[in-house]
Amino acid sequence: MSDYSVQIPYFIEDDVDYFYDYLFEFGETTAERFHMDFKGKVAQIQQFPFSCAVDTVYPSLIGKQIRKAIIYDGRYLLLYMIRGKNVVVLMVERAERDYIATFEANLRLYEDEKQQDG
């Protein structure tokens, strides 16, 4: 049992649904495999939040201690941060994309959502 909880903001759930639907066009098995890999990685980072390395590709991610997990045979990335006992998933994106723009937009969404919730 882990002392950590995982938070998946609504916009990440929307992204996962989008990728699932996209991959479903190639077959249900393909989409299900992506979804199972995503869920498996979320379970891993809940149990072992420090098991993935801090992303060192972009300096802004190093400073914020953003960790990078690889899913679906390296085709997709999941970025997350650890705040106290919370693991917050901030991005799921195709690995070949320049994911920093998506990350920064999602971080702003997360921070705005957190301020609204008080």
User: Could you state, in order of their start, the residue ranges of all structural domains in the chain?
Assistant: 5-117
Q: Which residue has the higher pLDDT, 109 or 52?
A: 52
Options 3.30.2310.20, 3.30.590.10, 3.40.50.2300, 3.40.50.300; CATH for 5-117 is 3.30.2310.20
The pLDDT of residue 117 is above 80: no
The percent of residues in the chain predicted with pLDDT above 90, rounded, is 74
CB 84 within 8 A of CB 99: no
pLDDT digits (tens, 9 = 90+) for 13-31: 999 999 999 999 999 999 9
Please, which pLDDT band fits residue 116 given cuts at 50, 70 and 90? confident
pLDDT digits (tens, 9 = 90+) for 85-112: 999 999 999 999 888 888 989 989 888 8
State how far the Cα of 90 lies from the Cα of 66, in Å rounded to an integer: 9
